[in-house]
Amino acid sequence: ASKMYWRVGMPVPMVIRGPAGGGTKGGPFHSTSPEAWFFHTPGIKVVMPSTAYDAKGLLKAAIRDNNPVLYLEHKLLYRLPELREQLPEEDYIVPIGKAIVRRDGEDMTMLTYGAMVHQCLKAAQMLEEEDDLEVEVLDLRSLAPLDHEAIVESVKHTNKVLIVHEDTLTGGVGAELAAILA
């Protein structure tokens, strides 16, 4: 599907929705982060929401996209009570390829996505309370395409970065983020 547009010159609107992430006590078969497998595939967009608002908006954007979109949901987010929120009834989308700052900061940037956004927000709060550090949390939301401009702008603003993700040690999303910033 990722190469069909170039092969036949027709769009291939397709959404593949699937679970991702560990921490659910599911053992090795149900604790995987497959985003890196697809992240490196030309022609496939990859999104991973961290909030209910983004989940709805990214799913609608994926459905309306003329390209294959892999829509990954972190399993931990299914049951977090703090994520319950009233969603707008009116139609909206969250643009694919646009990151969002979840917390402003001056001392360091945390680059993250999916369930790790909530871990980073908790850590940033602790760092502020205990060490008087202001940490910016940038939620990537979309892994392919990445929002290079937002990533570079945030890190230039704070001049320090911590990349937080659940992925394999090598060849993952974190390695790509580090390469962008190198």
Burial class of residue 15 (count of CB atoms within 10 Å of its CB; 0-12, 13-18, 19+)? middle
**Confidence class for position 30, pLDDT limits 50, 70, 90:** low
Residues that are catalytic: 30
The closest alpha carbon to 115, from 85, 88, 80, 147, belongs to 80
Work out the average pLDDT over 96-104: 98
Q: Which domains are present in the chain?
A: 4-83 (3.40.50.970), 100-181 (3.40.50.920)
**Confidence class for position 59, pLDDT limits 50, 70, 90:** very high
Q: What are phi and psi of 23, to 5 degrees?
A: 85, 10
Instruction: In whole angstroms, give the CA distance from residue 99 to residue 145.
Output: 10
**Confidence class for position 7, pLDDT limits 50, 70, 90:** confident
| First-last CA distance in the chain | 32
Of the chain, the percentage scoring pLDDT greater than 70 comes to 93
Which pLDDT tens digit goes with each residue over 113-154? 999 999 999 999 999 999 999 999 999 999 999 999 999 999
